[in-house]
Each structure stands twice: as structure tokens, then as C-alpha cells.
Structure 1
């Protein structure tokens, strides 16, 4: 049976900053948070869990040579960029910018409430790509007790290289992102496909902090993460976990709490 190891990344050990208008957690080294141990994981470079207060946000700033995607949990976010895109993103929306040779963008709250979202950066497998912009929408019903593929390599089956379309947003790399809304007592599993490299396949799980901002030890909901042949790792909201697996290994997430769990999974070649 293919083996898998799971190593927790505890919420209170992440980089944290409270700027008043922005409350943020950094899974990997970012801004003033420096850590060699958690600098990136394969091509996955950034997972920031942000809460931005109403009437504030990130002003126009540059990016290049990253695939940047934003996953909105609550509230609304206004995106503007140097390619001429203007969009209001809400619950269930996934926006992906392949920054390539360079873009400038701003992201600010829209409306009268705080916006809670994840911003993820991945490294592309080619440099000097032309900048591109994509949006996708996934309903809560689609994600209920089901892994929904929300980001996938542009070369994968079912991935459309169009600004707006059904299915996952395309990335120019070997990373796939899944999302689920897991009911109490429900489980979802995912099999690690064959790696294109000789090394084992990588995965990362993040349990979104949906019950409220918490800088201390994780609380709120609870999930168990396990491989078929290994021990169970318990996570609470804000916690994450690294997974390293052989091809064909299966990872299972079970909601052992009493509230819906919003969980993200990345498979990384």
C-alpha cells in the first residue's frame, strides 16, 4: 500500500500581523515574517489568510513571475489591474492572475463589511509568460462533502484557457487546488496521482479560520487527516498540514467537529 506522511503546521506558529485595517496569517515566509523552515513547498510559495476591513485594502502594486489566485470566503473584494480588469469578487469566487512579465493590481473591500479571503501564490513552470486573468465561481452546494477542483494546470483535461468558464482556473505549472465544505461526520478522500518526477508527490491542506479571527492556538471546528496506513492528524481552524506521499496514496479528511469545515487541498508536483 502506498505510504503517506502528514506533518501539521499549527495556526499559532504561522506568521501573524495585525495592521488594524488588515489582519493576516502567513503560512510561508512573507513580508516581515522570515522562516527558512517554511519558505515554500514545491511550487507553492504563499498562502495568506487575510481579513481586510471595510473601505480599505491593498493599493496599486506590481507583481511578476507568479501565478496569484484569490479565494473569497466572505465579504466582497474589488480587483483592478493594469490589464483593464475590474471585478467585484464575492463568496465562492476564485480569481487567478498569471502575472508573467508583470502587472499592477489593487485589491480593496467592496461594501460595508470585512472581507475574508485566501491569497495563494505559485511559481509557474515557464518564465516571461504574457499576463493573463481568469475568474471562476463555485457554489457552496458544489463543494458540499465533495472535493471541487478550483485550480488546475492548463494542460489538464477539462481546463479551459478562457477568462470566464466552467471548471477550474488554469495555471502554468504543476499544482492543483481543491476545495470542500465538509459536513459534520462526513469524509472526503483524494488520491495522489503519479508524479512526473522521481521524488514523492507533495500535498498541503489548510483548514480555513471561518468561525472568527484567532491569534492563539487553533479552535473552532475540527477535522482529522489520515492516510490509509498512518496515524490520524487532528486539525482545527487555521491549522494546516504538509503531506508527502507515494503515487497512489490516498489522503482522507473527516469532519469530527460540530460545524461545517471549509478545507483547501493542494497537490503539488
Structure 2
């Protein structure tokens, strides 16, 4: 390769790096704006997140939460603001990723990539809703059932939640369920790339069952409600992934048949 060819190849690379920097700056700016907004409403957001706890306690029962260090509530608000900013800014970040990648894709590839980009936040939101409306109230009900009233020969054992620990619990569950709900997207993309097939996924179903419960044991707190609540949807999503990969295979076979027919008539 001549020196002129080397110099010519530098120009497109520099242009890509400039564009990448621009996309990153827009993404970071969106996260910062959402962070400021979420921090301003941090107390309101936290009160919304405590609704599953209130449901588990029951109506008419006062609920108290504490913080044991002077800076604990402030740092809890910062974590909450970052959590909300990442969630709310995801559409902007995803659009910046798409605009950076799209020029290097063919038209049919762009059309295939876009649905996965849209499905990702939707599936994450479904997983978060499952935590908020079902798993978290059931898990908190299980935890609160461990309390003990004072009586003859026994002491009172009561739960007094810390603001940081409760936020950490619900954030871990939301992220765990949100990530696991990306399983159909990941496996379908792997199917499009030819890395997996529907038959392979069927044969490995028994391993998927073991893996689902193992992942639930790692990603969730050590209580049966959270673990079963994550493992069962994971198995359902695995079955959905098999159907999705099978659909991809049928579409690929149809395109190949049409291409062969065109070659035969040419």
C-alpha cells in the first residue's frame, strides 16, 4: 500500500471518530438532562417505588423508613436519579447508536435492525412492570411475614427498612428482570447471524431450565418468591425465542428460494 493510500484511508476513519464523538456527546447530554430532572423529583420517584412495599404492609398500617448516616438519603437520591436517567434517556441513546450504525448497513439490514432496537426498551419495561406490580409486593409480603410479636418468652422482631437498602433491592430486581427479558432479542439476533437454530434451542431446553433457576438464584435476593418469579418468565421467554428463531429461519429459507428461482429464470 502506497503512502497516498494510507493517507486516504485516514480521512474516513477521522470522520467516523468525529461522528462517534458527536453521538456520545448527545447521549451523555441526554443522560445529564434526565439526571437533573430525576434528582429534582427524586423524593416523588422514591415514593412511587415504595408503593409495592405499602401494598405488602396493607392499608391502615404506618410505614417508616430510616437512614442511619447523614449522607445516606442524599446518595440514595443520586442513585435514584442515575437509575431514572439511564431509563428515560435510553431512547435517545438507542437512536444515536442507530444513526451511527445505519449508514454502514444495507437497506434490508437497517429494516431488520430497527425492530430489535424498538423491542429492547419495551421488553425491559415489561420486566420492570412485572417486578413492580407482582414480584416486589409478593417478596415484601414474604419478608414481612418473618416478623414476630412480643409475647411470653419471645421478643418482638420488627422490620425497619433503610431507604438505601430498599432502593437497592428494587433496583436489583428491576435490572435483573429487565436484562432477562432481553433473551428473545439476543437469541433472535444470534439466529439471524446463524449462531443458533431453533432445533439447537429445543435440544438444549433442559439446560435452559437449569440455567434459568441458576440465573434467578444469582440475580435475585435469596427468597423463593423472587427466584421463582424470575425463573418462570425466563423459561417462557426461552420458548418465545424458539418461535422467533424459527420464524427467522423460515424467512431466510423463503428469501433463498426466491433468489434461486430468480437465478433459474435468468
Fold conserved between structures, TM > 0.5: no
Give the TM-score band, short-chain normalised. Answer: under 0.3
- Choose between structure 1 and 2: higher helix proportion: 2
Decide which structure has the larger Cα Rg and report it.
2
- Choose between structure 1 and 2: higher strand proportion: 1
Return the TM-score normalized by structure 1.
0.22
